Structure 1
Amino acid sequence: MRLTVVGCSGSMSGPASAASCYLVQADGADDSGRPRTWSVLMDLGSGAMGALLNHVDPAEVDLLVLSHLHADHMVDMIGMQVYRRWHPVGGLSPLPVLAPAGALERVRGVGGDDESETYAGEFTFAEHRPGEPVQLGPLTIESFPVNHPVPAYGIRVTGPSSRPGGPERVTLAYTGDTDLCEQLVPLAADVDLLLSEAAFQEGRDTVRGVHLTGRRAGQLAASASVRRLVLTHLQPWTDPEVVRGEAHESYRGPVDVAAPGARWVL
């Protein structure tokens, strides 16, 4: 299983990165037993559609998972819709989308369309159902409700190891946007990689119930016994080394800061 950062800028696209978008891929077999690569996108924020073209043909994405419906995590759904409807080879098959309730209406509003636009030719929407894993080829996707001002979900993905001699199955977790809450520990428990937002900075951002700080992300990583912490969703005005230092205050494992194009092989 492989994780590639498509975009990681927090709350908006930045001078060096699109907003939130992460590509998870694993090799497996199709229904006929033929080998293929399975691809899952987690979020598709502002600027992400263009950046995605550097990593995978969007026609080959098997599932799009939206952690929540804030614009910096889903606004480029319209770019994906255009790509699928007007592709030169003809319209592409609908892309399955796992999202919070109301995703169709949210996408319709971003696109500026009336209720006659169902996007049925481009997307099929399903709602997050905690406790009901979704199976996609060799990947298992689980949803966990988290603590944000709108309905939001963390995402846990389990798949085959890409490293010879390693464990057969590996796991990553993505917090989406959240502050600390009880569901984060089962989301992140014993994962090989925790992709954690850290949009707030200790001493600067005091409002609660919105985002993690580096320190709180580190506390989560330590309490959940994760093997590697990757900090993401930092706004353009934040010094990443300050947030990384906060995480190291409570977590002794490796801490990386997400960057466009960064890739981890699990």
Structure 2
Amino acid sequence: MRLTVLGGCGAWPTADQACSGYLVEYAGFRLLIDPGYATLPRLLQHGTVDAVDAVLISHGHPDHCADLNPLLRARGLSDDPPPPLPVHAPHGAVDAVLALDKPTMLAGAYRLHEFTPGDRFEIGPFTTDTWLLPHFVPNAGLRLTTPGAVLAYTGDTGPSPDIPRLARGADLFLAEATYVHQVPTGDAPYLLTARLAGQYAHQAGAARLMLTHLWPGTAPEAAQTAAAETFKPPIAIATPGLITRL
């Protein structure tokens, strides 16, 4: 399994960092996870739009799914459109993005497969287990399993005893870490700190930790240092172009 980071910025993109977006490849299958703001240009640095085999979305916030629209436009409006793209998302999560165009415009560009967090299903060679994790909107924590590796990803989440279960024994734990040490009180049930992400990685016995969804302007070194208080390195930061093999 190979993970290529397209972006890992929370809330909005910056000049040098797209929002959440990850390309996961195994056995020739290319799965795009969470095409957030500004991820399509990053994706095009690694291949054409018709090379994506499926999309998997954790939740409906635009910093995790907004670039589904230009991706579908680039595929559906091309001179030689590829087959419809399977899009897997929680119920209703991509309704707003799909509504950006009239229904007939991109109808042939995708096939929507909605799921309820807690479901298990197959996407190409990946066995996908999902957990309902606490966020402002329904969010699915994702665990992708192949014969050789396990990738666990939180999407966006607040504290939950299910997070170590999601990441148990994972070869890579991709964890949201919006804040370094403390989440503002009103948001505390719905977002994590880098330190808590490290604690969950330790509890899960994950082999490696990658922090993502850092608030714009957060110093990556500060997040790594906070996570290292509770998890022994290696600890990486999700930055565009970073490639990790599991």
Interval containing the TM-score (normalised by the shorter chain): over 0.9
The answer to whether the Cα contact below 8 Å between 1:11 and 1:235 also exists between their aligned partners in 2 is yes
Equivalent in the alignment of 2:153: 174
2:92 aligned with 1:102, yes or no? yes
1:123-144, Cα deviation, whole Å (9 max, x unpaired): 1111224454322343212211
The answer to whether the Cα contact below 8 Å between 2:57 and 2:64 also exists between their aligned partners in 1 is yes
RMSD: 1.7
Report the alpha carbon displacement of residue 48 of structure 1 after superposing the two structures with TM.
0.6
Equivalent in the alignment of 2:3: 3
Report the alpha carbon displacement of residue 192 of structure 1 after superposing the two structures with TM.
0.5
Report the alpha carbon displacement of residue 25 of structure 1 after superposing the two structures with TM.
0.2
2:169 aligned with 1:190, yes or no? yes
Give the length in aligned residue pairs: 245
TM-score (norm 1): 0.87
Identity across aligned pairs (percent)? 38
Residue number among 185, 194, 212 corresponding to 1:214 in the alignment: 194
With over 3 angstroms needed to count, the CA separation of the structure-2 counterparts of 1:104 and 1:45, relative to structure 1, is closer
Equivalent in the alignment of 2:22: 22
Equivalent in the alignment of 2:107: 120
1:69-112, Cα deviation, whole Å (9 max, x unpaired): 10111111110111111123x22211111111114522233x1x
5 Å-filtered alignment, 1:140-159, equals 140-159=127-146
Distance, in Å, in 2 between the alignment partners of 1:187 and 1:2 is: 19
With over 3 angstroms needed to count, the CA separation of the structure-2 counterparts of 1:139 and 1:86, relative to structure 1, is same
Distance, in Å, in 2 between the alignment partners of 1:117 and 1:103 is: 19
Report the alpha carbon displacement of residue 118 of structure 1 after superposing the two structures with TM.
7.5
Residue number among 61, 68, 75 corresponding to 1:70 in the alignment: 61
Equivalent in the alignment of 1:225: 205
The answer to whether the Cα contact below 8 Å between 1:103 and 1:125 also exists between their aligned partners in 2 is no
Range 192-201 or range 178-187, more displaced:
178-187
Q: Which runs of 5 or more residues in structure 2 are unaligned?
A: none
The answer to whether the Cα contact below 8 Å between 1:14 and 1:235 also exists between their aligned partners in 2 is no
With over 3 angstroms needed to count, the CA separation of the structure-2 counterparts of 1:136 and 1:104, relative to structure 1, is closer
Larger Rg: 1
1:114-165, Cα deviation, whole Å (9 max, x unpaired): 5x447431111112244543223432122111110101111111124xxxxx
Residue number among 41, 45, 49 corresponding to 2:40 in the alignment: 49
Equivalent in the alignment of 2:237: 257
Distance, in Å, in 2 between the alignment partners of 1:205 and 1:263 is: 32
